[in-house]
C-alpha cells in the first residue's frame, strides 16, 4: 500500500483536541482565518471524554457564593451540552461547585462547538515531528492512524494544547518543565455504572465511601491500595461515573501506560463489585463502560516566559496580563503515601498571558495542561475550567496576531484582554 503525502497550509494550527484545544479552535476562528485542529484520538475532549471525566472542575470560585469564573468557551460548550440534555449546571457539592456532564454527550457537544466555526478538524491524527527555522515553527509532520496518510502542515502560528509539551522537544531553543523531584501524581482508570438509583447515590459522600472501603478491606473484598473514591451521578439520573482507583503510570515511559490500562481494568472490576455490594444506590447497577484512556494527572509542560507557582496560587496573585481566573484547590493524588491532599488557598488567583508564551518558540502558544506551571500549581491549574479558559486565551491571541501580522509575544496585552472580555471571558 502506497502512503499518500500532502502539504497543508493554514493560519493557525491547534495541536490537541481536549478542552483547551477545542476552546482554542473556537476562539481562533474568524472570517478569512484558516484554522486546523489535529487530535490524535477519534474524538474531541481529551481526558474528559476518553477518560470519562464527568465533572467540569474549576469553573466556579471556591469562595463565598462560588461565582462563575470561567466564561467564553466554557459558556459556548455549556450551551451545546444543554441542547443535548447532558449538563447539570452549577451543582453545589461537599467542598465546591461544578458543572456535571455526560462524557458521551460532551464529545458530541465539542464536535458541534468546533465544527460550527469552520475549523478544519483532523481526528486520528498523530504528530510525528516538527521543524523550526531558529525559533520559528516552520512545519509539523502528522500521520493519520486510520489511513496511514502523511501530511505536512505549514502554520503561521500554532497552539500546543496536547496535554503535554509536544512541540518544545523539537525546538532548538525550546525547554520542557518536568515534575519536580521526578514525582508524578497517580493516574486513575475511571468507569461508568448504569442502573443506578441516582437519588440515593447522590447522598453518598466521599467520607462514606472511604468508611465503606475500610469495612470492605477488613473483609477481604478490596485488595488495592486506594482507600477513597468519588462518584458522580450523571444528568440522566440512572448512571454514575466512578473514580476509585490509583494507577502508577508515567506517559513518558514506554510500557507504563499499557501496564496502567491492563492493571487498571482489574482494579475497576474490583471497584465495581465493591460498589454493588456496599454503596447505597448501586445495588442493581452494572458496569457499563471502562474508560478507554487512562486518566493521566501529570505530564511535561512547556517552559514559558513566566512559570506560575504554588505561592502565586496561595497568595491569590492578580497579574496585570491575566487571561483567566483559577480557584480549584491544589489537588494532589499521592500514590506513594496512598493519600489525596487538598490545599485550599482561600483566594482566587489569575494566570498571566506570559505563562502561555513558550521560550524559544516565537510563533507558538501553550494552552491547557501545557502552560508553564510548577508541579504544585499544576495540581490546581490542570482542571477543565482553566483548560477551557487558557485555550480560549491562546486562540484569541493567535487570531489577533494573524490579523495584525505580528507574533503572539508582540501583542498589545490590553487589546488581548479587551477582546477576551468582549468574548465573555472572566479575567479577575
Q: Spell out the domain ranges in the chain.
A: 5-182+298-422, 191-290
93: Cβ contacts below 8 Å, ≥ 6 apart: none
pLDDT of 94 > 80? The answer is no
Integer-rounded Cα Rg, in Å, for the chain is: 21
Say whether pLDDT at 344 is over 70: yes
Q: How much is the pLDDT for 253? A: 86
pLDDT of 123 higher than 60: yes
Residue 181 predicted with pLDDT over 70: no
Q: What is the pLDDT of residue 184?
A: 80
Work out the number of other CB atoms within 10 angstroms of the CB of residue 3. 10
- Report the C-alpha gap between 71 and 68 in whole angstroms: 7
Q: How far is CA 417 from CA 69, 107, 323, in A?
A: 15, 29, 7
- Report the range of poorest mean pLDDT among 49-63, 165-179, 213-227, 324-338: 324-338
Percent of the chain with pLDDT over 70: 98
Residues 190 and 288 sit within 8 Å (Cβ to Cβ): no
Lowest mean pLDDT among 78-92, 182-196, 324-338, 374-388: 324-338
Task: Please state the rounded mean pLDDT for residues 361-366.
Answer: 99
Average pLDDT over residues 11-28: 99
Structural contact between residues 162 and 127, judged by C-beta atoms closer than 8 angstroms: yes
Q: What is the pLDDT of residue 252?
A: 82
Residue by residue, DSSP assigns 65-113 as T--B---THHHHHHHHHHHHT-EEEEEE-SS-EEEEE-HHHHHHHHHHH
| Residue 235 near residue 198, CB atoms below 8 Å | no
Q: What cell does 295 get?
A: 486518566
Who wins on pLDDT, 107 or 187? 107
pLDDT (mean) for 69-75: 97
pLDDT band at 265 (very low <50, low <70, confident <90, very high): very high
Q: What pLDDT, on the 0 to 100 scale, is given for residue 349?
A: 97
From the CB of residue 41, how many other CB atoms can be counted at a distance below 10 Å?
20
Alpha-carbon gap, residue 233 to 54, rounded angstroms? 9
Over residues 381-426, the pLDDT tens digits come to 999 999 999 999 999 999 999 999 999 999 999 999 999 999 999 9
SS3 of 23-37: the string is HHHHHHCECCECEEE
Asked whether the beta carbons of 247 and 229 are under 8 A apart, the reply is no
pLDDT above 60 (res 1): no
- The answer to whether residue 57 scores a pLDDT higher than 80 is yes
Q: What is the mean pLDDT of the chain?
A: 95
**Residue closest to 184 by CA, chosen among 126, 116, 252:** 252
- Span 283-287, average pLDDT: 99
Q: Which three cell numbers stand for residue 236?
A: 440522566
- Mean pLDDT check: name the lowest of 47-56, 251-260, 419-428: 251-260
Which residues have CB under 8 Å from 21's CB, separation 6+?
14, 15, 37, 39, 44, 46, 159, 161, 162, 367, 368, 391
- Look at residue 179 and tell me whether its pLDDT is greater than 80: no
pTM of the model: 0.96
Mean pLDDT, rounded, for 43-52: 97
Q: Does 2 have pLDDT greater than 60? A: no
Note the pLDDT of residue 182: 66
Q: Would you say residue 227 has pLDDT above 90?
A: no
| Over residues 68-91, mean pLDDT | 97
Q: Is the pLDDT of residue 203 over 70?
A: yes
pLDDT (average), residues 16-44: 98
Is 80 exceeded by the pLDDT of residue 50? yes
Give me the architecture of the 5-182+298-422 domain, per CATH.
Answer: 3-Layer(bba) Sandwich (3.50)
Partnered with residue 232 across adjacent β-strands are 241
Amino acid at each position: 500500500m502506497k502512503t499518500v503525502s500532502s502539504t497543508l497550509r493554514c493560519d493557525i494550527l491547534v495541536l490537541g483536541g481536549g478542552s483547551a484545544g477545542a476552546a482554542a479552535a473556537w476562539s481562533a476562528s474568524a472570517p478569512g482565518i484558516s484554522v486546523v485542529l489535529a487530535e490524535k484520538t477519534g474524538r474531541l475532549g481529551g481526558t474528559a471524554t476518553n477518560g470519562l471525566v464527568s465533572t467540569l472542575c474549576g469553573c466556579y470560585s471556591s469562595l463565598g457564593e462560588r461565582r462563575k469564573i470561567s466564561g467564553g468557551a466554557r459558556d459556548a460548550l455549556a450551551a451545546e451540552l444543554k441542547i443535548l440534555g447532558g449538563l447539570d449546571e452549577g451543582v453545589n457539592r461537599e467542598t465546591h461547585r461544578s458543572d456535571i456532564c455526560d462524557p458521551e454527550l460532551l464529545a458530541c457537544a465539542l464536535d458541534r462547538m468546533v465544527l460550527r466555526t469552520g475549523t478544519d478538524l483532523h481526528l486520528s491524527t498523530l504528530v510525528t515531528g516538527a521543524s523550526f527555522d531558529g525559533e520559528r515553527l516552520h512545519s509539523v509532520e502528522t500521520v493519520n492512524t486510520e489511513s496511514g496518510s502523511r501530511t505536512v502542515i505549514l502554520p503561521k502560528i500554532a497552539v500546543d494544547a496536547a496535554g503535554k509539551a509536544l512541540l518544545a522537544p523539537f525546538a532548538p531553543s525550546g525547554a520542557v518543565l518536568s515534575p519536580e523531584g521526578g514525582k508524578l501524581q497517580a493516574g486513575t482508570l475511571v468507569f461508568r455504572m448504569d442502573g443506578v438509583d441516582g437519588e440515593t447515590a447522590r447522598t453518598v459522600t466521599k467520607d462514606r465511601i472511604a468508611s465503606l472501603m475500610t469495612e470492605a478491606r477488613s473483609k477481604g473484598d478490596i485488595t488495592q491500595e486506594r482507600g477513597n473514591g468519588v462518584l458522580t451521578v450523571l444528568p440522566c439520573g440512572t448512571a454514575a461515573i466512578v473514580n476509585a482507583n490509583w494507577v502508577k503510570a508515567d506517559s513518558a515511559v514506554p510500557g507504563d501506560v499499557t501496564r496502567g490500562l491492563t492493571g487498571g481494568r482489574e482494579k475497576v472490576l474490583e471497584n465495581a463489585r465493591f460498589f454493588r455490594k456496599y454503596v447505597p444506590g448501586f445495588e442493581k447497577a452494572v458496569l457499563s463502560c471502562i474508560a478507554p484512556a487512562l486518566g493521566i494527572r501529570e505530564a511535561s509542560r512547556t517552559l514559558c516566559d513566566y512559570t506560575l507557582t504554588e505561592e502565586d496560587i496561595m497568595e491569590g496573585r492578580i497579574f496585570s496580563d491575566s487571561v483567566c481566573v483559577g480557584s480549584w484547590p491544589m489537588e494532589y493524588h499521592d500514590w506513594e503515601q496512598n493519600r489525596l491532599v487538598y490545599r485550599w488557598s482561600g483566594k482566587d488567583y489569575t494566570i498571566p498571558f506570559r505563562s502561555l508564551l513558550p521560550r524559544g518558540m516565537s510563533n507558538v502558544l501553550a494552552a491547557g495542561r501545557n502552560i508553564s506551571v510548577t508541579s504544585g500549581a499544576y495540581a490546581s491549574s490542570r482542571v477543565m475550567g482553566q483548560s477551557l479558559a487558557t485555550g480560549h486565551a491562546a486562540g484569541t491571541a493567535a487570531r489577533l496576531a494573524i490579523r495584525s501580522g505580528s507574533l503572539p509575544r508582540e501583542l498589545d496585552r490590553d487589546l488581548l484582554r479587551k477582546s477576551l472580555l468582549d468574548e465573555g471571558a472572566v479575567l479577575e
